[in-house]
Structure 1
Amino acid sequence: MEFSEVIATRRAVNHFDPNRDVPDALLRQVVEMAATTPSSFNLQPWSLMVLRDKEEKLRLQKQAMGQVKVSEAPVTLIVLADRKGWADECHFTEKNFQEMIKAGTMKEGQRDWFTKARTKLYGTTEESQLAFATKNTGFFAMTLMLSARSVGLHAHPMDGFSMEGVMKEFNIPDTYWVPLLMSVGYFNEDKELAPAKWRKTYDEIVVRFD
């Protein structure tokens, strides 16, 4: 599918075909495409919980304002943003540093600089930690939706849920923030696909504050 078609046909659909599964290999392909998303210092502070089991999805649905698509879709994702994804205690931080050494973009002698730079940029306040986690995970989530559409799937991002309820129900550590849930699957062709909604024009988007 051409990228222009991906953009033109992407919808946050409300009705998924409950009888048409998303194969594991296809979901893996979608996630691995989304994994190419850029992030600050390539720290990639995102994770996913993949829910396929009906009972688990119903548990999530109770925390998501009863939205039927949560359990109707073959796959619903809990998207996680790691507020400590910049810190030494995150095991991906060391892996990231070692991979940069292998790539020749960092040297072992720059370890202290790398630590200080990460801490200054992302770890000085709770607000900066949350901003780091959510903005980068937002990039990933959008790429995930576009990747899903490129292989014929649809996705619906949701922020209508109790984050505290979801965290408690699924034993999610408090270092994470849950910016959104996302249902993924095939559109139910028995339903009518809603037309694309209005969007701001170029002139409405571009601003100045002289």
Structure 2
Amino acid sequence: MDFKEIVKTRRAANFFDPNKPVAKETIRELVEMAAQSPSSYNLQPWSLMILEDPDDKARLRKLAFDQPKITDAPVVFMVLGDRNAWKEGDKSFEMNFAEMVKSGMPEANKTGLAKTMISLYGASQDHMQAFAAKNAGFFGMSLMYAAKSLGLESHPMDGFDHNGVKKEFNIPDNYWIPLIMSIGYFDESKEYPAPKWRKSFEDIVVSF
């Protein structure tokens, strides 16, 4: 399946086969494919909680408008965006700087890089939120395309009690949850969703 076909045939599937599990190796392959997503300064400020246990999925469903696809799908991803990943001392910042040094950046540049990060991403709460949501969104979209390429279906959701989910699953305050996502094989007894309308080129391109 080439990329054009993946883009054209991906759907937000509402029906998953609860009796067809996704192999651990397939989940790993999917996540490792999505890990190639671009990110600001390559900070990769995303993390992923993977829910497969029925009780965990049931807990999430109660906080997500009781959507059946959360418990029907064999796997549910909770995509997390780290609002602090740009900060000096944070694991993401330090890992990334270490790789920069390996590539030839002088270690003395660390202070200057940290100041740049503050000006770009730490200037306000809005900047921090945008940093986390934007980059985690790149990762989330890649997860969906990667899933399709592996014969899986997905459904991204932002209809859930954000604070309730954070509390229920003990998610630290530095994380924002841009979306949760059901992953699995389509329930073939159901009708596959038809494509929805999309803006045209003329609708998308603007000038001011």
The alignment's TM-score, normalised by the length of structure 2, stands at: 0.98
Q: Who is 1:118 aligned against?
A: 117
Q: Distance in 2 between matches of 1:6 and 1:141?
A: 15
Residue equivalent to 1:108: 107
Measured after TM superposition, the shift of residue 109 of structure 1 is 1.6
Residue 25 (structure 2) pairs with residue 51 (structure 1): no
Q: Deviations over 1:13-58 (max 9, x none)?
A: 0000101111111011111111011111100110000000000000
User: 1:4 Cα shift?
Assistant: 1.3
Partner-residue secondary structure (3-state), 2:48: strand
Structure 1 counterpart SS, 2:47: strand
Aligned to 1:177: 176
Aligned position for 2:92: 92
Per the TM alignment, residue 69 of structure 1 is displaced from its structure 2 partner at its CA by 0.4
Gaps of at least 5 residues in structure 2 are none
Q: Which runs of 5+ in 1 are unaligned?
A: none
| TM-superposition CA deviations, 1:149-201 (whole Å, max 9, x none) | 00100110000000011001001011111111000001100000110000000
Deviations 1:77-129 (A, max 9, x none): 1110100011124212111101111123x221211111001111001111100
Identity of aligned residues (%): 53
| Structure 1 residue aligned with 2:72 | 72
Aligned-partner Cα distance in 1 for 2:41–2:23: 33
SS in 1 for 2:129: helix
Letter matched to residue 196 of structure 2: K
Q: After the TM superposition, which parts of structure 1 deviate over 2 Å for at least 4 consecutive aligned residues?
A: none
* In the alignment, structure 1 residue 29 sits paired with structure 2 residue 25: no
- 2:177 counterpart letter in structure 1: V
Distance 1:76 1:108 in 2: 40
Q: Distance in 2 between matches of 1:196 and 1:39?
A: 29
| Equivalent residue number for residue 13 of structure 2 | 13
Amino acid aligned to 2:205 = V
Hey, what does 1:200 align to over in structure 2? Answer: 199
Question: Separation in 2 of the partners of 1:141 and 1:25?
Answer: 19
SS of match in other structure, 1:121: helix
